[in-house]
Amino acid sequence: MNAYKIMYSAKALKQYATLPIYIRHQVDEKMSLVAENPYARNNNIRAILGRERCYRLRIGDWRVVYEIVKQELIIYVIKIAHRKEVYRI
């Protein structure tokens, strides 16, 4: 199985740059595991209700919201935020 490519939105890149360094390392590590197999059963990944192909990855108090574009083998990171703020529009 080919690994998925991870792409970040401009907003997600800006949010990533403001994260503490140890959280950035955790995001990198977890997202590389997701890229290897985005459909693996993992307790820290949940589908977002009401949004098709959107998932959230829990990393401590931080959340990474991403979309899987299966036909192009891309994981598109939409947002990275603290759990208190991540679901606000």
CA–CA distance, 15 with 51 (Å, rounded to integer): 21
The answer to whether residues 66 and 57 touch, using CB atoms and an 8 Å cutoff, is yes
Pick the CATH number of 5-82 from 3.30.70.520, 1.10.2020.10, 2.60.40.1190, 3.30.2310.20: 3.30.2310.20
Q: What's this model's pTM, rounded to 2 decimal places?
A: 0.88
pLDDT higher than 60, residue 7: yes
Exposed, middle or buried: residue 75 (CB in 10 Å: 0-12, 13-18, 19+)?
buried
Domain boundaries, the chain: 5-82
Segment 55-81, tens digit of pLDDT: 999 999 999 999 999 889 999 999 999
- Residue the block writes with tokens 């759990």: 83
Type of residue at 85? E
DSSP 24-36: HHHHHHHHHHHHH
